[in-house]
């Protein structure tokens, strides 16, 4: 819960003429506050004479009047706010693009999108912080939310809660990002190309387990019941650690590796090549995310291309959910995973 301090220093301002309200506009225009509201909101149920309209607009402009969103939504009993937690890890270009598109699409539907900088708050605490803003909809990527969190949000007026992540949460709509499929495709691909001892690179960095764990699981599942093995290989995103790993690579006895994503793949590939190993000869490498950089490597990096949901579709889902909050939660698989075979595998 956000604490509001008791007016830090009341006497510090050099009389900054206080913020203009609709009452000020009314006074200046010589009309009532009601009229101001009618004019400024183009209320169609009421006809206001042209001269009056002009006077009101003039007054508003002159005062630099800007309506008070909090007051408005308090009165209205609801907002058009769609809230998402701001990502706590560096978002890749994929996700950034998705986010921009989504904001644009929701903007078109007249929603205001806001990313809430939730910091150390976990789980229900975070949900409460979001609920304080009384958003009409909440979009939550990842694992940040449990069923209770959903309940908190709904009880506080959120008409739609949508999770984007590997698992559905009770009571919320779910856009299922099936990261298992990513690992599955990758391992399958390696298997089909004759590899049997498959390593799966797992970032040592915090906060990425949400994605890496299911990718690993998917790889495991892909070779279940075959003669192939899957080995978990942790790697920090830094040269030294990659060099260390490369130095003991032969001892691992792997003939292929799925490298979490293209960036980790690049890091590992370089280290292996520096160590004199041939790619894909000695070790096949495949990444994920289909970033530009993979195309620029030599050998060209095989990768798993991810298809994120379109921002427009998600915006439409949100709008639908807001309009009909009691509809059964929708579940959509939204992560297309397709192997792009290049030269490294």
Q: Which of residues 38-77 bind DNA (CB under 7 A)?
A: 38, 40-41, 43, 45-49, 51-52, 65, 67-68, 71-72, 74-77
Q: Does 251 bind a second copy (CB under 8 A)?
A: no
Q: Does 14 bind a second copy (CB under 8 A)?
A: yes
Q: Considering CB distances under 5 to 8 angstroms, the limit depending on partner class, which of a second copy, DNA, none binds residue 34?
A: DNA
Nearer to a second copy, 121 or 217 (CB): 121
Q: Considering CB distances under 5 to 8 angstroms, the limit depending on partner class, which of a second copy, DNA, none binds residue 47?
A: DNA
Structure tokens at 274: 């520096």
**Of the candidate residues 27, 87, 221, 330, the single one contacting a second copy (CB under 8 A):** 87
Q: Which of residues 40-59 bind a second copy (CB under 8 A)?
A: 40-41
Q: Does 71 bind a second copy (CB under 8 A)?
A: yes
81 has which bridge partners?
Answer: 112
Q: Does 21 bind a second copy (CB under 8 A)?
A: no
Q: Considering CB distances under 5 to 8 angstroms, the limit depending on partner class, which of DNA, a second copy, none binds residue 338?
A: none
Stretch near a second copy under the rule CB under 8 A, chosen from 50-58, 123-131, 170-178, 195-203: 123-131
Q: Are 300 and 342 in contact (CB under 8 A)?
A: yes
Q: Does 114 bind a second copy (CB under 8 A)?
A: yes
- In angstroms, rounded to a whole number, what is the distance separating the alpha carbons of residues 129 and 328? 26
Stretch near a second copy under the rule CB under 8 A, chosen from 25-33, 68-76, 164-172, 190-198: 68-76
Q: Which residues are within 8 A (CB) of 337 and not within 5 positions of it... i.e. 6 or more apart? A: 178, 181, 182, 184, 185, 304, 305, 306, 307
Neighbours of 88 (CB within 10 A): 15
Q: Residue numbers of the site for DNA (CB under 7 A)? A: 4, 6, 18-19, 21-23, 30-38, 40-41, 43, 45-49, 51-52, 65, 67-68, 71-72, 74-77
């Amino acid at each position: 819960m956000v604490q509001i301090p008791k007016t830090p220093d009341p006497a510090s301002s050099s009389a900054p003429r206080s913020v203009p309200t609709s009452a000020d506009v009314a006074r200046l225009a010589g009309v009532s506050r009601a009229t101001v509201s009618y004019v400024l909101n183009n209320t169609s149920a009421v006809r206001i004479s042209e001269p009056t309209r002009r006077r009101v607009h003039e007054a508003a402009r002159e005062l630099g009047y800007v309506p008070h969103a909090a007051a408005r939504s308090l009165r209205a009993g609801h907002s058009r706010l769609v809230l998402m937690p701001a990502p706590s890890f560096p978002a890749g270009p994929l996700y950034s693009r998705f986010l921009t598109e989504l904001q644009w699409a929701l903007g078109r539907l007249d929603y205001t999108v806001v990313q809430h900088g939730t910091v150390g708050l976990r789980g229900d605490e975070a949900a409460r912080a979001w609920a304080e803003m009384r958003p009409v909809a909440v979009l939550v990527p990842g694992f940040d939310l449990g069923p209770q969190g959903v309940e908190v949000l709904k009880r506080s007026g959120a008409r739609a809660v949508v999770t984007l992540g590997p698992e559905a949460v009770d009571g919320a709509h779910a856009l299922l990002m099936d990261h298992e499929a990513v690992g599955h495709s990758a391992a399958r691909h390696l298997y089909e190309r004759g590899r049997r001892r498959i390593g799966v690179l797992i970032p040592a960095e915090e906060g990425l387990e949400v994605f890496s764990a299911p990718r690993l699981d998917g790889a495991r599942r892909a070779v279940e019941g075959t003669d192939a093995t899957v080995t978990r290989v942790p790697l920090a995103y830094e040269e030294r650690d990659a060099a260390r790993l490369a130095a003991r690579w032969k001892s691992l006895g792997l003939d292929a590796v799925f490298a979490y994503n293209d960036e980790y793949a690049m890091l590992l590939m370089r280290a292996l090549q520096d160590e004199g190993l041939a790619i894909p000869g000695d070790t096949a490498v495949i990444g994920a995310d289909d970033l530009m950089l993979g195309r620029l490597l030599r050998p060209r990096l095989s990768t798993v291309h991810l298809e994120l949901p379109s921002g427009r579709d998600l915006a439409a889902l949100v709008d639908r959910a807001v309009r009909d909050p009691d509809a059964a939660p929708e579940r959509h698989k939204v992560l297309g995973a397709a192997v792009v075979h290049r030269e490294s595998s």
